[in-house]
Amino acid sequence: MVSSLDAFSYLVGIITISIQGYSTYWALTIRRTLFIHLYRAQALGIAIVGLVYAASELGSVLYYNARVLTFNPILSVIALALLCIFYWIDKSMSSARRSNPLLRDTAKWSKARIALWPLIVVMESLLFGSSLLGEFSGPPVPLSGVEGIILGLFGFLLALIVVPLVGVLLLPLASRRSGDATLRRQIRWFGAFALFVFGTVLLAPFTGSATATTFAQQVVGLVGGSGAGYALYRSAKSLVPLNKMAGTE
C-alpha cells in the first residue's frame, strides 16, 4: 500500500517533471525558429538540461519508491547534468564572443574549449562509471569499493571544479563584455536554475537520513524543483526577444 509520504513524493516528482518538461518544450520550440547553428545549439543546451533534470526527478522517484533501478542514479545523473551544463556554457561563451562588438574571446575560449572538452568527457566518464559500482538496490549509497570511491571522487571533484569555475567566473564576464542584454538575461536565469539545484542538493543532508526519505526532504525537493523549473523556463524564454502580436502596432 502506498503511504502518504510516498504519494507526496510522487506528487513532487510529477510537478517537477512537468515544469522541467515545459522548459524543455519552450527551448525546443524556440530552437526550431532559429537558423544559425550556434544559437540553435544554445537552445538545445537548455532543452537537454531540462530533460536531464526531469529524468533525474523520475529516477529519484523510482529509486526511492519502487526500488526498481539496477544502478545508483545519483552519480550518473550528476555526471550527465554537468556534461549538459558544460555544453550550454560552451555554446553561451561562443555566443557571447559573437555578440561582442570587438569579438573579444574571453579567456581565449575558442582555444580553451578544445582542451577542456576531452578533459570534461574523461571526468564525466569516470563519474558515470563509478555510479555503476554503487549499490544495486535499497537506499542510495553513493559508491561501493575502493575503485569506485577513487574513480568517483576524481571525476566528481574535477568536474565540480571545472564546470562551475567556467560557469560562475568566465560566463558572466563574457556576457557582460558582450553587451547583449538578451544573453545576459538568459545567463542570469540559468544561474538561478543552478542555485536552486545546488541549494536543493546542499540542503538534502539536513532534511533527512541517507536511508529513508522524509517529508522535509520532499518539501525541499518541491520548492527546489519548482524553482529550478521556473528559472530554466525563464532562461529558455530569454534565448531570443519574443514579441507579442497585441503589443505591435
Burial 167-194 (b: 16+ CB within 10 A, else e): beebbbebbebbebebbbbbbbbbbbbb
User: Minimal distance in Å, beta carbon 29 to other proteins?
Assistant: 5
Query: In this complex, which beta carbon is closest to other proteins, that of residue 184 or of residue 198?
Result: 184
Kindly list the distances between the CA atom of residue 137 and the CA atoms of 62, 71, 89, 134, in Å, as whole numbers in the listed order.
11, 7, 35, 9
User: Does 114 participate in binding other proteins (rule CB under 8 A)?
Assistant: no
User: Does 108 participate in binding other proteins (rule CB under 8 A)?
Assistant: no
CA 142 to chain centroid, in Å, comes to 19
Alpha carbons 70 and 129: distance in angstroms, whole number? 14
Query: In this complex, which beta carbon is closest to other proteins, that of residue 139 or of residue 179?
Result: 179
Residue 115: which residues within 8 A CB-CB, separation 6 or more?
A: none
Give the total of residues touching other proteins (CB under 8 A): 28
> Considering only 58-66, 94-102, 122-130, 143-151, which stretch makes contact with other proteins by CB under 8 A?
94-102
Kindly list the distances between the CA atom of residue 155 and the CA atoms of 59, 84, 131, 135, 150, in Å, as whole numbers in the listed order.
21, 15, 11, 19, 9
Alpha carbons 120 and 196: distance in angstroms, whole number? 23
User: Does 212 participate in binding other proteins (rule CB under 8 A)?
Assistant: no
Grid coordinates given for 189: 536565469
Interface with other proteins (CB under 8 A), residue from 18, 69, 71, 98? 98
Binding letters toward other proteins, positions 165-204, x by CB under 8 A: --------------xxxx----------------------
User: Minimal distance in Å, beta carbon 118 to other proteins?
Assistant: 23
Interface with other proteins (CB under 8 A), residue from 11, 14, 38, 165? 38
User: Does 40 participate in binding other proteins (rule CB under 8 A)?
Assistant: yes
| 3 state SS of 170 | helix
User: Minimal distance in Å, beta carbon 50 to other proteins?
Assistant: 16
Q: Please spell the DSSP secondary structure of 46-73, one letter per residue.
A: HHHHHHHHHHHHHHHHIIIII---SS-H
User: Minimal distance in Å, beta carbon 36 to other proteins?
Assistant: 4
Burial level of 204, CB count in 10 A (0-12/13-18/19+)? middle
Grid coordinates given for 11: 506528487
User: Minimal distance in Å, beta carbon 249 to other proteins?
Assistant: 8
User: Does 102 participate in binding other proteins (rule CB under 8 A)?
Assistant: yes
User: Does 242 participate in binding other proteins (rule CB under 8 A)?
Assistant: yes
Tell me which amino acid residue 114 is: I
User: Minimal distance in Å, beta carbon 229 to other proteins?
Assistant: 17
Query: In this complex, which beta carbon is closest to other proteins, that of residue 37 or of residue 108?
Result: 37
Name the site residues for other proteins (rule: CB under 8 A): 25, 29-30, 32-40, 95, 98-99, 101-103, 179-182, 240-245
